[in-house]
């Protein structure tokens, strides 16, 4: 199969990641270690690039959730697969997501992380499907807004495929429907 068509190329992604890192570094200057909580699996490449561009002290944690649903259609129900391992109490936490679609996952994650009593929680997502929002959840740092289409690459998958593409590409509607 040929590679998915390019939506956001590698240079544009890296430029934007650098801008986000600068903004986050400014906002958290002199606040001690920032705990970056990467949401598995989709955020792993974004987290790697973002964390290495920060100019402030940071700690890396991971959390894993799974959505009930099939293929590219989310049912809105989210389940915790793996919680953070380290102690984040009284620390500043930044959730690092690959994409916010309906917002159910991010809202659920905020609830889980609040139960660890951090000093603060903010959210960062490389991509945002603004037209698809079903719940009201604030994204403090957004890389790019995208339309209501399935995107892959730079960590994002379609059925575990295409995560390691260096760019963000789109999956044709025919492929999404299994055609
Ligand atoms: P939400 O709960 O509907 O906001 O969905 C968030 C999760 O769905 C993301 O963390 C992704 O794992 C997945 N997701 C939603 N849209 C896409 C997409 O276009 N490509 C890849 N994964 C997606």
Tell me the pLDDT band of 88, cut-offs 50, 70 and 90: very high
For ligand 1, the distance from its centroid to the CA atom of residue 29, given in whole angstroms, is 31
Segment holding 62, helix H or strand E: strand 58-70
Q: Which residues are catalytic?
A: 101
**C-beta neighbour count of 67 within 10 angstroms:** 17
**Do residues 46 and 17 touch, judged by C-beta distance below 8 A?**
yes
Strand partners, 142: 125
Amino acid 120: pLDDT:
98
Question: Is 101's C-beta closer than 6 angstroms to any atom of ligand 1?
Answer: yes
Amino acid 150: pLDDT:
96
Question: Is 125's C-beta closer than 6 angstroms to any atom of ligand 1?
Answer: no
pLDDT of 26 over the 80 cut: yes
- Total-model pTM: 0.94
Closest CA to 65 of 21, 17, 100, 20: 100
6-176 has CATH 3.40.50.2020 classification: yes
Instruction: Please give the average per-residue pLDDT across 72-87, as a whole number.
Output: 85
**Do residues 150 and 72 touch, judged by C-beta distance below 8 A?**
yes
Tell me the pLDDT band of 2, cut-offs 50, 70 and 90: confident
Question: Is 162's C-beta closer than 6 angstroms to any atom of ligand 1?
Answer: no
Amino acid 75: pLDDT:
65
Amino acid 172: pLDDT:
80
CA-based torsion, 124, 128, 153, 105: positive or negative:
positive
Domain ranges of the chain: 6-176
User: Residues 93-143: pLDDT tens digits?
Assistant: 999 999 999 999 999 999 999 999 999 999 999 999 989 989 999 999 999
For ligand 1, the distance from its centroid to the CA atom of residue 62, given in whole angstroms, is 17
CA of 16: how far to CAs of 11, 24, 127, 144, 151, in Å? 9, 12, 11, 8, 17
């Amino acid at each position: 199969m040929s590679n998915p068509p390019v939506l956001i190329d590698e240079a544009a992604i890296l430029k934007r990641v650098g801008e986000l890192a600068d903004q986050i570094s400014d906002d958290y200057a002199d606040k001690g270690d920032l705990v970056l909580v990467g949401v598995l699996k989709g955020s792993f490449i974004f987290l790697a690039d973002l964390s290495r561009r920060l100019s402030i002290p940071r700690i890396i944690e991971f959390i894993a959730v799974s959505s009930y649903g099939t293929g590219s259609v989310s049912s809105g129900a989210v389940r915790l697969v793996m919680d953070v391992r380290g102690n984040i109490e009284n620390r500043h936490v930044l959730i690092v997501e690959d994409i916010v679609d309906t917002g159910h996952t991010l809202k659920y994650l905020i609830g889980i992380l609040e139960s660890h009593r951090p000093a603060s929680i903010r959210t960062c997502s490389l991509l945002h499907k603004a037209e698809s929002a079903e719940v009201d959840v604030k994204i403090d740092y957004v890389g790019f807004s995208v339309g209501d289409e399935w995107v892959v690459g730079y960590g994002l998958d379609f059925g575990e495929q295409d995560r390691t593409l260096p760019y963000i590409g789109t999956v044709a509607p025919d492929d999404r429907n299994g055609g």
